[in-house]
Amino acid sequence: MILRDIRRRSADAREVDRFKVKDQLTYANAALDINDHRQATEIWDRLMADHRSAACESPLALRVLLRLRRYDEATMVMRQGQQRSPAEPRFLQGLGQIAQAKGDHDEAVLIFARLRKSFPGVMEGYTSAAESLKATNRLDEAEELVGKAMKNFHSHIAPFLEYARIAMLRRDWEEALRRWDPIRDQFAHVSGFVGAAQALVQLGRYDAAEQLLQDARYRFGSGPEPLSEYARVAEARGDRAEAARRWNDVLSRFPLDMPVYLAASEAFERLGEPAPAEDALRAAINRFPTELRPMLDLAKLLQIKRRNFPAAAEVWTVMRAAFPDNQEGYTSGAEALRLSGDNERADALLEAHRLRFRST
């Protein structure tokens, strides 16, 4: 009875550990969503000190480590998982994801081949391998794998998406149109409409693209993708005024979608509308003060494209205050100051960077 009670207590303690670890890794991923790498690192290091076993066993661990670019540690966690649970495919799959994150797609292809051999029922052995084959321009091999995946996993959308994207990469627009059909008809997914519209634009069939996107707007009104692509069609037609009007419409309809502001800013820049391009980023900064990307894009816009170095230096200053652990705020901020003629402040900022990040 005593031994049974000890085992029960031990099992209960492990279960509590798992819940704690899951919560903490969720917090770490949330910190990474706002580019707070320091907070995420502190959470992971604390888990490794206090709950190492449960942390390494958690499916959330790999995502945190990949986002922190701690590839060696991620590899160790995956290999230990393989030794502990050789019949579980996620660890071999994780090694493939690590290779992809490092940009080593040849290695990833080999790992996913092992995944297919050992676990033929895991779809990612095909689709993830196809992603790496595409990255190395081995489109015929990617298409062959995707064909097998569509046959073996016909109820999943991922192989069909890869199949259509391969045709887009080949610039075979008529074939791409055909391949987007099941994504619309079988899976009723918005990408089937947007992808087909992109192919139609390449074929010069602007009216058909717009009609397809109008249909998508009514079916997927809660997402900005159809309306954003609708604006791009006007741009492709060469109707800059209409494209700008449509982008303003996207901004007004989706004020809580940060990528919309970024895409609109890029579009306004292409359309030769510098003021709206800058305004879109400043609006994003005001609406999403905990997000790094709008501020980073604005600083680069002012520094690289506008060559307004004093204005860029001001944005870098604000960014350092909001995101003190982002090194680019220091290095690029110092460059903006130097290009503004303020060498003294530039040198002081580089010294602050060296002290904060222990760089030599």
Instruction: Give the model confidence (pLDDT) of 42-56 as tens digits.
Output: 999 999 999 899 999
- pLDDT, position 8: 65
Domain boundaries, the chain: 289-360
Q: Mean pLDDT over residues 139-158, rounded?
A: 96
Q: Does position 10 have pLDDT exceeding 60, yes or no?
A: no
Kindly report which listed range (3-7, 204-208, 237-241, 300-304) carries the lowest average pLDDT score. Answer: 3-7
Q: Does position 62 have pLDDT exceeding 70, yes or no?
A: yes
* CA angle (132, 134, 135) in 5-degree steps: 65
Tell me the C-alpha distance between 222 and 348, whole Å: 48
Tell me the C-alpha distance between 291 and 33, whole Å: 8
Q: Do 348 and 317 form a contact (C-beta atoms < 8 A)? A: no
Q: Mean pLDDT over residues 323-344, rounded?
A: 95
Q: Mean pLDDT over residues 115-129, rounded?
A: 97
**Number of C-beta neighbours around residue 293 at 10 A:** 16
* Token pair for 315: 């944005």
Q: Does position 194 have pLDDT exceeding 60, yes or no?
A: yes
pLDDT digits (tens, 9 = 90+) for 211-266: 999 999 999 988 999 999 999 999 999 999 999 999 999 999 999 999 999 999 99
Q: Do 352 and 330 form a contact (C-beta atoms < 8 A)? A: yes
* Token pair for 158: 């991922």
- pLDDT, position 259: 95
Tell me the C-alpha distance between 178 and 330, whole Å: 49
Average predicted confidence (pLDDT) for the chain: 93
What is the DSSP code string of 230-275? HHHHHHHHT-HHHHHHHHHHHHHH-TT-HHHHHHHHHHHHHTT-HH
Q: Mean pLDDT over residues 120-149, rounded?
A: 97
Q: Does position 315 have pLDDT exceeding 50, yes or no?
A: yes
Q: Which one, of 303, 294, 348, lies nearest residue 323 by Cα?
A: 294
- pLDDT, position 360: 45
Q: Name the amino acid, one letter, at 343.
A: N
* Token pair for 185: 């008809």
* Token pair for 144: 């062959």
| DSSP structural state of residue 137 | T
In this structure, what are the phi and psi dihedrals at residue 186, rounded to the nearest 5 degrees?
-85, -40
| Residue, of 18 and 319, whose pLDDT is higher | 319
Q: Do 287 and 259 form a contact (C-beta atoms < 8 A)? A: no
* Token pair for 224: 């900005």
Q: Does position 95 have pLDDT exceeding 60, yes or no?
A: yes
- pLDDT, position 359: 55
